[in-house]
Amino acid sequence: MPDITLIITISIIIVLSPFVSNITRVPIAVIEILLGVLGAYFGLLGKNEYFSIVAKVGFLFLMFIAGLEVNLKEFANMKRDFLVRAGIYFTTLYALAIIAYTIFNLSPIYIVILPIFSLGMIMALLKDYGKHQPWLNLALTIGIAGEVISIIAITILTGALTFGFGFKFIEALFMMGLFVVATITFFKFSKTMFWWFPELKQAIIPFQDQKDQDIRFSMALFFIMVALALWLKIDMVLGAFFAGIFLSSFFRHKTSLYDKLLSLCFGFFAPIFFVYVGSTLDLRTLFMPIVLKKALLIILLLVGMRLIASFIAFYGALKLKNTLLFALSDSMPLMFMVAVATIGMTANAISKLEYFSIILASMMDAIIIMTTVKIIFNFFEMKKKREQQKPPISRTA
C-alpha cells in the first residue's frame, strides 16, 4: 500500500506542478521541491529504494542535458578578449569563494557551491526576455562555460568525499583524466569517421525517423557512458555530461531531438529528482532560525560574489544596466546547488541542517532573483522610454 500511495502522490505532483507554477509565477523546480516537502510532511512520500534510484537517474539526465547545451565549435571560435574576461570572472569567483570559506568558517563544500553555475533558470529567463538581450546572451555563454567547470568541480568533490585525499583520490583523479582523454580521442575518431562517411549520421539518426531511432540512440549512449564511468569508479556525472556533449557535437542536424530530450527530462526525470529532494526535507526544520540565517548568508554570498566578479570582468564592456542584470541572471544555480547538497549529504560531508539551509537558499534565491531581474529590467526600460519621449531641446540663436 505505501508503494501505491508513493506512485500516486508523485504522479499528482508532476501533473499539478506546472499549474501551480503558472498561478504563483514561482519556478517549477521550486514548486516540485515544495510539494515534495509537503508530501513527506503528510506521510505520502516515504523512503523507497526505487524512488531513490529513479531520482538518481533524473539527476544524471539533468547532467546529460547540460552536456547538450555545450557547443564545442562556439567555444573554439571565441575571441581572445572574451576569453580573457571570462578567465578573470571565473578566477575572481573561485578566489572569493575561498575567502568566504575562510572568513565564515564554512564547510569545504562551499568552495564548489558558491561559484557553481546552472543553466536551468537562465533558460527560463531566455523565454521571458529573448536571446537578443546582450546581458542574457552573455549569461548563457558564461553559464555554459560555468557548467563545464562546475561538472569538473563536482566530479573532483565527489572523489574527495568518497576516497579522501590519499592514494585512492589520486587514483580516482588519474582514472578521471584517463576517461577524459579516452573520450576526447573517441570524439576525434568520430569526427574523422563522420567526415569520411557522412551517411553514417543519417544511418544512426535519420531525418525521416518513424521508429524513434534518435531517442533510442540517445538513451543507449546515455546509459553506456554512465555505465562506463561506474565501471571505471569515477563519478557517473562525467559520463552523462560527455554523452550530452557527443550528441550536441555530431547530431545537430536533427534539431527536433534536442526538444524531445528536453521534454523527456523536464517532463519526467527532473521532476522526480526535485520531488525526491523535497521528500528528504523536514518542513518543521526548514523554518528554524539557524537554517534561515544560514540560507540568507548563502544567498548574499552567491549574489555578492557574482556582482563583484561581473563588475571587475565585464563592466567595461557592458556598463551598469547590462552588468547588473548579467550578474543577477547568473546567480541562480538552483539545480546544481541541489545536486551538490545531495552529494554532500550522502557522503556525510555536511549536517542535515546545513543540507536544509542549502536547499532553502537555492529556492529562495531563484524566487528573489527572478523578481529582482524583472524589477530592474522594467525600471531601465521605463527610463529609456521616458528619455525617448522627451521633446528635443530647441536651440535659439
Check whether 388 has a pLDDT greater than 70.
yes
> 31-35, 151-155, 268-272, 349-353: which has the minimum mean pLDDT?
151-155
The predicted pLDDT at position 294 comes to 93
Contact of 108 with 101, CB cutoff 8 Å: yes
Q: pLDDT by residue (tens digit) across 220-243?
A: 999 999 998 888 877 788 888 888
Report how far residue 275's alpha carbon sits from residue 124's, in angstroms, rounded to the nearest whole number: 19
The predicted pLDDT at position 246 comes to 86
Residue 387 lies in a domain: no
Check whether 16 has a pLDDT greater than 90.
yes
Contact of 291 with 360, CB cutoff 8 Å: yes
CATH number at residue 153: 1.20.1530.20
Rounded to two decimals, the pTM is: 0.80
Residue 319 lies in a domain: yes
The predicted pLDDT at position 396 comes to 52
**What is the b/e burial string over 157-182, where b = at least 16 CB atoms within 10 angstroms of the residue's CB?**
bbbbbbbeeeeebeebbeebeebeee
Give how far Cα 224 sits from Cα of 198, 201, 217, 243, Å.
23, 19, 10, 9
| Confidence band for 304, pLDDT divided at 50, 70 and 90 | very high
| Confidence band for 260, pLDDT divided at 50, 70 and 90 | confident
Structural Rg of the chain based on CA atoms? 22
Check whether 392 has a pLDDT greater than 70.
no
Residue 302 lies in a domain: yes
The predicted pLDDT at position 49 comes to 85
Is the torsion defined by CA of 324, 109, 111, 171 positive or negative? negative
Judged by phi (left if over 0) then psi (alpha if -120 to 50, else beta), residue 26 lies in beta
Residue 300 lies in a domain: yes
The predicted pLDDT at position 352 comes to 87
Q: What is the mean pLDDT of the chain?
A: 84
Residue 385 lies in a domain: no
Half-sphere exposure of 319 (CA within 13 A, CB side): 3
Contact of 280 with 338, CB cutoff 8 Å: no
Q: pLDDT by residue (tens digit) across 350-381?
A: 888 998 999 899 888 988 888 888 889 888 88
The predicted pLDDT at position 397 comes to 44
Domain count, the chain: 1
Check whether 279 has a pLDDT greater than 80.
yes
Check whether 393 has a pLDDT greater than 80.
no
Report how far residue 306's alpha carbon sits from residue 331's, in angstroms, rounded to the nearest whole number: 7
Residue 70 lies in a domain: yes
Residue 397 lies in a domain: no
Residue 386 lies in a domain: no
Residues spanned by the domain of 26:
2-379
Report how far residue 272's alpha carbon sits from residue 266's, in angstroms, rounded to the nearest whole number: 9
Check whether 74 has a pLDDT greater than 80.
no
Report how far residue 28's alpha carbon sits from residue 24's, in angstroms, rounded to the nearest whole number: 10
The predicted pLDDT at position 308 comes to 96
Report how far residue 385's alpha carbon sits from residue 372's, in angstroms, rounded to the nearest whole number: 20
Closest CA to 359 of 344, 347, 374: 344
